[in-house]
Amino acid sequence: RYEIVQRETTLEILPGVRTRAWTYGGTLPGPTIEARRGRPITVTHRNDLPVPTVVHLHGGRTPADSDGYPTDLVLPEGWTEPTMGHGSGHGMGNMRDPHAVLSRRTRDYTFPMDQRPTLLWYHDHRMDFTAPAIWRGLAGLQIVRDDAEEALGLPSGSRELPLMIADRAFTAEGELAYPALDPTLRERPGVLEPYLAGVLGDVILVNGAPWPVHEVDAARHRLRILNASNARHYELEAVLDDGRRLDLVQIGADQGLLAAPVVHRLLPIAPAERYDVVVDFSAVPVGGLVRIVNRLGSGRTRDVMAFRVARAAADDSRVPRVLSADLPGWRRADAVRVRDFSFRAGQLDHGRGWLIGGLPFDPARSDVTVGLGDVEVWRMVADVHHPVHLHLVGFRVLSRNGRPPLPHDAGLKDTVSLRPGEAVEIITRFDGYRGRFLFHCHNAEHEDMAMMANLQVV
């Protein structure tokens, strides 16, 4: 049982600078929630912020009433605005959702945790206001563990490091700079239109700290990487002083361990994706620096963080050749249906935005209805880069542009990066819970500009 108070907090993010953030419990990121597979947990959220909020556990297999549907708002004390309080991002006005469940001040979210062990994250999910809420700080980690994974002998304890990577921009006064953080401003239609591509920052934060340098033993470390950026993509590499690059040995994807490790030199990571990676620092001379660099960045956004190898040390960790044997092996022939979706820019009521299948998000419309237990193939095409996320289920990548998936598509995922002009096929089985869920682009600005649709499991 956890209790989290969502509140405005003044933090020192940049050295010597005071920044007001919206936090889960006063820290940025919020508290890391530790869970065991099969042991349900309840998190009580209290909203002491000036705006309505919604909590979604990303990657959680969660019943619909705790999944954080974007209109199931937790209203702040004394909130009197029209209850939807949204519609600004894409100018849809005070659209009504007859199924919305409003809570006053607090709400209990219950997570069964009946799922593979992995790194999840919780974040705000309010309709049309997700991007500014996450930007202001509403994100935290949740880790699911089980005995089988712990028995593998992977690096653990101080050698297991969750890394939440996110870019931010700051004003001269030290405030988080976002085009429309002020909720009243966002009531103006189309306010985000100049930011169609998404909002980028020029400061890279890892676990809330700018470009941190972390001291490590000369031993294997497990880096559990999350790209929590609104819109920034990364291609990460681990570079030594002498220019050599260390292997990034991928052991897990969004939804837990791979069947077997996959070795990368360069690891692309789109918004909301997680990569579980082992890096061996034992070949680095003591005192040496390993920089984690984003090949897609330029200037200071090329640097992400660094590891200083502080001391020689014994290492009894292992990366077994077989990591897991429970990955679903759905085949095309198992699918009862193939669906097609386009992810493209388009016209909204007020200005431009982002559409799925030609339509903007509407909580009152039914988009996709699937049968509980059905296996389906989804074929998705993109105009520009869109990281597409499905709630409730994990899926496997079947193909990219008619060719086999890429090495980093391995394993069970909940977010897949559609690259510009690409057609990607995924396969999944819709099991877990009946009810109303979502799929959407996880470029947070695209999401706020209507690139989201309903997924009804019946």
**Residue 218 β-bridge partners:** 312
Chosen from ligand C2O, Cu ion, none, partner binding at 396 (C-beta under 5 to 8 Å by type): none
Alpha-carbon distance values, 193 to 71, 73, 346, 396, 446 (Å): 22, 25, 11, 33, 10
Closest distance of CB 446 from Cu ion, Å = 3
Task: Tell me which of 28, 356, 380, 438 binds ligand C2O, using CB under 6 A.
Answer: 438
Residues engaged in binding Cu ion (CB under 5 A): 58, 386, 391, 441, 443, 446
Beta carbon nearer to ligand C2O, 67 or 237: 67
Burial 14-41 (b: 16+ CB within 10 A, else e): eeeeebbbbbbbbbbbbbebebebeeeb
Q: How far is the CB of 336 from ligand C2O (least distance, A)?
A: 25
Partner from Cu ion, ligand C2O, none binding residue 136, C-beta < 5-8 Å depending on class: none
Shortest Cβ distance from residue 399 to ligand C2O (Å)? Answer: 24
Nearer to ligand C2O, 116 or 440 (CB): 440
Interface of this chain with ligand C2O, residues 137 to 196, rule: CB under 6 A? none
Indicate whether 440 belongs to the interface with ligand C2O (CB under 6 A).
Answer: yes
Query: CB of 241: closest distance to ligand C2O in angstroms?
Result: 36
Binding of ligand C2O at residue 446 (CB under 6 A)? Answer: no
Helix, strand, coil percent content, the chain, rounded in steps of 5: 10, 45, 45
Amino acid occupying residue 453 = A
Residue type, 132: P
Burial class (CB in 10 A: 0-12, 13-18, 19+), 170: middle
Beta bridge mates, 388? 416, 441
Q: Is 174 left (phi over 0), alpha (psi -120 to 50) or beta?
A: left
Work out how close the CB of 393 gets to ligand C2O at its nearest, in angstroms, rounded to a whole number.
Answer: 12
Between 13 and 355, name the residue whose CB sits nearer to Cu ion: 355
Q: How many CA atoms within 13 Å lie on the side-chain side of 165?
A: 32
Q: How many helices (H) and strands (E) does the chain have?
A: 3, 33
Residue 62 CB, nearest approach to Cu ion (Å): 9
Tell me the CB-side half-sphere exposure of residue 332, using CA atoms within 13 A.
4
Gap between the Cα atoms of 312 and 455, Å rounded:
51
User: Which of 116, 186, 232, 389 forms a contact with ligand C2O (CB under 6 A)?
Assistant: 389
Binding to ligand C2O in span 115-134, by CB under 6 A: 123, 125
Question: Between residues 58 and 232, which has the closer beta carbon with respect to ligand C2O?
Answer: 58
Among 58, 159, 396, 408, binds ligand C2O (CB under 6 A): 58
Burial 120-147 (b: 16+ CB within 10 A, else e): bbbbbbbbbbbbbbbbbbbbbbbbbebe
Residue (107 or 413) nearer to Cu ion, CB? 413
Q: How far is the CB of 354 from Cu ion (least distance, A)?
A: 6
Cis check: omega of the bond before 132, within 30 degrees of 0: no
Structure tokens at 184: 């009243």
Does residue 56 belong to the site contacting ligand C2O (CB under 6 A)? yes
Q: Residues 451, 439: contact at Cβ < 8 Å?
A: no
446 binds, among ligand C2O, Cu ion, none (CB under 5 to 8 A by kind): Cu ion
The answer to whether 216 and 308 have CB atoms below 8 angstroms apart is yes
45 binds, among Cu ion, ligand C2O, none (CB under 5 to 8 A by kind): none
Q: Which residue is nearest to ligand C2O (CB)?
A: 58
Binding mask 343-382 for ligand C2O (x = CB under 6 A): ----------------------------------------
Smallest distance, Cu ion to C-beta of residue 247, A: 30
Instruction: Tell me which residues touch ligand C2O (CB under 6 A).
Output: 56, 58, 123, 125, 272, 389, 391, 438, 440, 442
